A = this chain, B = another copy of it.
Amino acid sequence: MISWNNLDTLSSYKELENKEKVCLKCAMSGEAGADRVKSYTMPMAAGLSYNYAAKAVNEDIIDGLAALAEEAQLIDKFAALYNGEVINTGEKRLVLHQLTRGQLGDDVVADGVNKRTFYTEQQKKIAEFANAVHEGKITNANGEKFTTVVQIGIGGSDLGPRAIYIGLENWAKTTGNFKMEAKFISNVDPDDAAAVLNSIDVAHSLFVLVSKSGTTLETLTNESFVKDALKKAGLDASKHMVAVTSETSPLAKSSDYLAAFFMDDFIGGRFSSCSAVGGAVLSLAFGPEVFARFLNGAGEEDKLATNKDVRKNPAMLDALIGVYERNVLGYPATAVLPYSQALSRFPAHLQQADMESNGKSVNRFGEPVNYVTGPIIFGEPGTNGQHSFYQLLHQGTDIIPLQFIGFKNSQIGLDVDIQGSTSQQKLCANVAAQIVAFALGKDDENNNKKFEGKRPSSIIIGEQLTPEAMGAILSHFENKIMFQGFIWNVNSFDQEGVQLGKVLAKKVLAHDTDGALKVYSDLLNI
């Protein structure tokens, strides 16, 4: 029997608060530190590993986190989720994004439909469509192949698919899996669509319109923008557009689209990269087989997240340590720092996935909570960040936990040996050095050159950023966020906080304003 309780009502949490804190600097020093780095690690899918040696935990704290996981029934709640309970209570919806990449538990049937079958059918439809495009069976009106795919979507219909596209673009080009260039139009700023349209050959472009409801203001506006451009170029827009939407949306049966691929209300935008939302654009860009490999990586990682043993469940341990850092140690933020240029936009995706899920002040019953919930998430790729905001991370007055990601091998494989090492070795040397610098610090007579250390971090290490690794990393963070939501007892799957702005923006556009809103509208010439 599952019970949903606030974090501060759990006895294991109180015990955790009272446990002696770990001196990270002491723990990471000397040979004991070396042993710790070897042992505080666990395998992930796709040959990745999650190493948490540089976190301020020890066996005692991990036992405490395990007790918290048990009392908060994290694994039972995850099972309830993948077995089809209504976990998104606010919107009264199931939460089924994991089902796009595997069957973790029972068959989930909703509205008489086996949902796993539904999702895989959509994948199959997308695969057939993508193959037909690649083979030149679906072409533009002149019988010419499409060379570019343009995703029109915002938020979850943009950030995740875009981050994954950038994540795998060079891998695909290097391995012969690159089929079509992808571009993305998201912002309602007209310069976004105009600049993308200026950069492509519209006659050979296929547009993927992504909106679950079929009503997202930005996306419909950008659709019109694109249709105008197609019309001006003398092209039939309906031969250049596909829709990704829900079956009940106005877009679903429209003859305005070459094809429609379906998602449903059980997959939230920020968790939709593995659904048709990511599936269409990524299958068109890299081929359906690459997308399937990505799903496999995510599915394998999901399986690890079902393990009751926190020492064998990377996502759950990561989540628990994050809550410990946020609520017990009082840290306000987490930095995501991939040492991989390919993951340059992955922190922006996690920023949405995490902050939109757990940036809540009420529990799942709508009662205010008495503790802090989701932290600020930000990040840029290393080594770039080292020459930017790392100063504050090393010597600022707040401690900010760090989430590193690193790969032994680059994607393209071109490299240069300078001063006895390759660029890839330099990249890896830097991430290793940073973990230790943050944890151990360095004493100095000059306070300005002194490093306190004690800055906790973890690292996900992989051989290479492949489709499987990309999927596993995505799953890791999605599940981490889900577990944290369970611990904080919030509903991670709604986003009521985005509504008020939409309502007021409509009022502005209808000139139905007074007070401050009217003056701002005037100042902005609306």
User: Given known contacts A33-B515, A362-B448, A383-B188, is B424 in contact with A397 (CB within 8 Å)?
Assistant: no
**Complex Cα gap A217–B337 (Å):** 19
Cβ contact within 8 Å between A519 and B430:
no
Question: In residues 405-448 of chain A, which contact B (Cβ within 8 Å)?
Answer: 406, 408, 410-412, 414-416, 418-437, 439-442, 446-448
Residues of B within 8 A of A410 (CB): 189-191, 194
Would you call A180 an interface residue if the criterion is a C-beta within 8 Å of the partner chain's C-beta atoms?
A: no
Query: Which residues on the B side are within 8 Å of A526 (C-beta)?
Result: 421, 425, 428-429, 432
Q: How far is the CB of A464 from chain B (nearest CB, A)?
A: 11
The verdict on A505 contacting chain B, using a C-beta distance below 8 Å, is yes
Residue of B nearest to A394 (CB): B497
Which residues of chain B are near A305, meaning CB under 8 Å? Answer: none
> In the complex, are the beta carbons of A412 and B372 less than 8 A apart?
no
Closest chain B residue to A392 by CB distance?
B359
CB A475 to nearest CB in B, in angstroms, measures 20
Picked from B37, B367, B371, the residue with its CB within 8 Å of the CB of A519 is B37
B residues near A449, Cβ cutoff 8 Å: 496, 499
Q: Which residues of B contact A382 (CB under 8 A)?
A: 187
- Count A interface residues, CB 8 Å: 161
**Residues of chain B with a CB closer than 8 A to A188's CB:** 383, 423, 426-427, 430
Binds B, one of A61-69, A150-158, A292-300, A306-314: A150-158
Residues of B close to A503: CB separation below 8 A: 433
Task: Say what secondary structure dominates the interface of chain A.
Answer: helix
Query: Within 8 Å of chain B (Cβ to Cβ): is A2?
Result: no
Judge if A38 is at the interface, Cβ distance under 8 Å. Answer: yes
A174 nearest CB across to chain B (Å): 9
A340 touches B154 (CB 8 A): no
Per the bound structure, the CA–CA distance linking A362 and B225 in Å amounts to: 52
A30 at interface, CB cutoff 8 A? yes
Q: Which of B224, B269, B416, B448 contacts A221 (CB 8 A)?
A: B416
Q: For residue A21, which residues in chain B have a CB less than 8 angstroms away from its CB?
A: none
Contact B515 A339 (CB under 8 A): no
Question: Which residues of chain A from 216 to 232 have a CB within 8 Å of any chain B CB?
Answer: 217-218, 220-222, 224-225, 228
For A502, what are the chain B residues with a Cβ–Cβ distance below 8 Å?
A: 433
Q: Which 8 A-B pairs have the closest CB atoms?
A: A359-B392, A155-B387, A433-B504, A359-B396, A352-B388, A394-B497, A395-B497, A429-B508
Bound complex: CA A332 to CA B378 (Å): 13
Task: Mark contacts of A487-526 with chain B using CB atoms, 8 A cut-off: 1 yes-contact digit, 0 otherwise.
Answer: 0000100111111111111111100001111111101111
Is there contact, CB below 8 Å, between A388 and B355? yes
State how many angstroms separate the Cβ of A374 from the closest Cβ of chain B. Answer: 6
Interfacial chain B residues near A419, Cβ < 8 Å = 509
Q: Is A144 close to B, CB under 8 A?
A: no
- Min Cβ gap A309→B in Å is 22
- Among A444-501, those with CB < 8 Å from B are 446-452, 459, 461, 491, 494-501
Q: Please name the residue on chain B nearest to A371 by beta carbon.
A: B397
Provide the residues of chain B in CB contact with A225, threshold 8 Å: 414, 416, 423
Asked if A355 and B396 make an inter-chain contact with CB atoms under 8 angstroms apart, the answer reads yes
Please name 8 pairs of A and B residues whose Cβ atoms are closer than 8 Å in the assembled complex, sorted by A.
Answer: A29-B516, A155-B388, A189-B383, A348-B380, A348-B388, A366-B446, A368-B447, A394-B500
Given A29-B515, A221-B416: 17 more A-B contacts, CB < 8 Å: A34-B516, A37-B516, A37-B519, A187-B381, A187-B384, A189-B423, A191-B341, A194-B414, A198-B412, A332-B332, A333-B333, A425-B509, A426-B509, A432-B524, A433-B517, A434-B501, A437-B501
Check: A391 CB closer than 8 A to any chain B CB. yes
- The minimal Cβ–Cβ distance linking A168 to chain B, given in whole angstroms, is 12
A34 near B432 with CB under 8 A, answer no
**Complex Cα spacing A429 to B509, Å:** 6
Min distance, Cβ A133 to any Cβ of chain B, angstroms: 23
Which of A194, A220, A441, A501: most chain B Cβ within 10 A?
A501
Q: Are A519 and B395 in contact (CB under 8 A)?
A: no
Known: A355-B389, A432-B520. A170 touches B191 (CB 8 A): yes
- Residues on B with C-beta less than 8 A from A170 are 191, 194-195
- In the complex, the answer to whether A190 meets B359 with C-beta atoms within 8 Å is no
**Given that A380-B348, A397-B372, A430-B501 are contacting pairs, would A388 and B356 also be in contact in the complex, using a CB cutoff of 8 Å?**
yes
Contact A377 B389 (CB under 8 A): yes
Tell me the complex Cα distance, A51–B440, Å: 44
Per-position binary interface string of chain A over residues 241-281, scored 1 when its CB falls under 8 Å from any chain B CB and 0 otherwise: 00000000000000000000000000001100000000000
